[in-house]
A and B are shown apart, each in its own frame.
Chain A
Amino acid sequence: MSIPTTNKQAVEIGKANKRKYMLEKLSSRIFLICALLSVITLLLIIGFVFYKGAHPFVAGGYSFIDFIFGTDWVPSEDKFGIFPMIVASIFATIGALIIGVPIGLFTAIFLAEIASKRLAKIISPAIQLLAGIPSVLYGVFGLAIIIPFLQNTFGLVKGQSLLAVILVLAIMMLPTIVTVAETAIRAVPQTYREGSYALGVSQIGTIFKVIVPAAKSGIMTAIVLGLGRAIGETMAVILVAGNSLIVPTSLTDSVRPLTTNIALEMGYAFGTHQEMLFATGIVLFSFILILNFVLAKISAKGGN
């Protein structure tokens, strides 16, 4: 039984609902604006960097090929070649991967599969804390510990080198790799483990033949994210790289990766020099874009 409503009551209810609908609309707009803000910021950064960075090639008559493959960077003589920096960035990232990925992966496996709950509860937060340390402190650590160590071990005059960069980056990528890979390994259904153990397979056999393959896409994601961290790192690298403008031929050579080039010179650069630093940013940005593309491919594959 419904109670008959008078016209007046109906109007009152209508008003109250109208306000509700208004509020609905308003809040969804606010959410939309917040979401758009980050997209707009991204577009602005890209637009600005590309506008500034492309200028010398479009209007200044500089060759982009010479920029990428030129080996001389002498702004005062109008020479802008970033090939040594590209090579340094790639070597440093690959080197960091070679050291960081196995350590990170084994740590993740240990935490997710082997360690007792109590031990994992101590190690996991410690690794997450590692991610929260400001990167300049990694640089200071590298400067105070790794560089003297390299100088003593290899008898170098100057410890700032590609190897120092690799070691610092490897440490810095650990938290990302460990956390993401651990999550992926933990997500492997317990039934897979049981199935493997029930066939008389040892724990280590189960880990490498069933669990790691099952967590493959998550582990690949971990590696790509770690890679992104390594290639974009600036502050810590400045302190340990040595910043020499040569194409590195050995691990003990002093290097200048792309990021440090921008950070070191942007403060005083102007004119074409400044625009060339933006162009360096374009190259760096392209690396990151390619990585993200790879990442998207991997996660799409993992979704199936």
Chain B
Amino acid sequence: MEQLKEGKSIINVRDLNLFYGEKQALFGVDLAIHEKEVTALIGPSGCGKSTFLRTLNRMNDLIDGVKITGDIVINHEDIYKTNDVIKLRTKVGMVFQKPNLFPMSIYDNVAYGPRMQGIKNKKELNNIVEESLRSAAIWDEVKDRLKTSALGLSGGQQQRVCIARAIAMKPDIILMDEPTSALDPISTLKIEELITNMKEDYTIVIVTHNMQQAARVSDKTAFFLNGEIVEYDDTDNIFSTPQDQRTEDYVTGRFG
């Protein structure tokens, strides 16, 4: 993993263990995620990749009985020691598996985060909403219906508005938890294009079930198995010359 030390890492995970009550779900995870790159987390169901993703913005805090040991340092701050979850989550945005827009207008959905941060100026909010929707490549499709319910959009559109909603907070990092698994192939393609464009401005960590997707969009790939990282390398290497037999078996489709 020496070759990964080059480049600037924004997330540094050291010896991370996670327990759901008595059951251990993550075992000694070490990972350095680089700035303005797309890092894909792959692995079979139940391997801990989503659980790991959710430690990065402390979403696991919502579940009773989760215990964590080890360090996660994001932007030089140990996020489990500083204890400012609100600040963390404004810097580390998240897009979920299923689009989860609120039952309000498209505009209100995107403006929700900034408003809750105390931004009241209408002009400023308008700018944020437009910019965010443009960045999420959905502006042209929704600009005439900003005041209508967001739940009237198609699944793919909703997911891009979800991305806009995350972008509106101007985060450094965006976590994506299987963002296309509920979408049709064309919507999936649009989101993948979007991800590729977004890495100019954001560091993206994406969990995916779809290995072609990981190969298409990511710079680095980490292969999870049974709560451990088996291999972490440039995506090209993982898919062409994996070092570990288990990685090779997984990426060639022998299990999973």
Whether the Cβ atoms of B59 and A199 lie closer than 8 Å is: no
Whether the Cβ atoms of B116 and A205 lie closer than 8 Å is: yes
Contact with B along A184-214 (1 / 0, CB 8 A): 0000010111111111111001000110011
Q: How far is the CA of A200 from the CA of B64 in the complex (A)?
A: 19
Q: How far is the CA of A205 from the CA of B116 in the complex (A)?
A: 8
In this complex, the interface size class of chain A, counting residues with CB under 8 Å from chain B, is 10 to 19
Contacts of B101 in A (CB 8 A): 195
- Which of A201, A202, A213 is within 8 Å of B113, CB to CB? A201
Chain A CB within 10 Å — which of B57, B89, B116, B166 has the most? Answer: B116
In this complex, the interface size class of chain B, counting residues with CB under 8 Å from chain A, is 20 to 34
Whether the Cβ atoms of B102 and A192 lie closer than 8 Å is: yes
Whether the Cβ atoms of B102 and A197 lie closer than 8 Å is: no
Chain B contacts to A: CB under 8 angstroms = 57, 59, 62, 64, 85-90, 93-94, 96, 98, 100-104, 112-113, 116-117, 162, 165-166, 169
Q: 5 smallest A-B Cβ distances: which pairs? A: A200-B90, A191-B100, A200-B89, A199-B113, A198-B94
Whether the Cβ atoms of B102 and A214 lie closer than 8 Å is: yes
**Taking CB as reference atom, which chain B residue is nearest A117?**
B64
Whether the Cβ atoms of A197 and B62 lie closer than 8 Å is: yes
Q: How far is the CA of A213 from the CA of B64 in the complex (A)?
A: 26
Known A193-B62, A200-B90, A210-B102; further 5 A-B contacts with Cβ < 8 A:
A198-B57, A199-B90, A199-B113, A201-B112, A209-B112
Contact A192 B165, CB 8 Å, known A199-B90, A199-B116, A200-B117: no
**Taking CB as reference atom, which chain B residue is nearest A201?**
B116
Contacts of A192 in B (CB 8 A): 100, 102
Whether the Cβ atoms of A209 and B103 lie closer than 8 Å is: no
Contacts of B64 in A (CB 8 A): 117
Whether the Cβ atoms of A200 and B96 lie closer than 8 Å is: no
Whether the Cβ atoms of B103 and A199 lie closer than 8 Å is: no
Q: How far is the CA of A210 from the CA of B86 in the complex (A)?
A: 17
Contact A200 B62, CB 8 Å, known A209-B112, A213-B104: no
- Which of B86, B90, B100 is within 8 Å of A194, CB to CB? B100
Contacts of A194 in B (CB 8 A): 59, 62, 94, 96, 100
Contacts of A202 in B (CB 8 A): 86
Whether the Cβ atoms of A209 and B89 lie closer than 8 Å is: no
Contacts of A199 in B (CB 8 A): 89-90, 93, 112-113, 116, 165-166, 169
- Which of B85, B88, B96 is within 8 Å of A191, CB to CB? B96
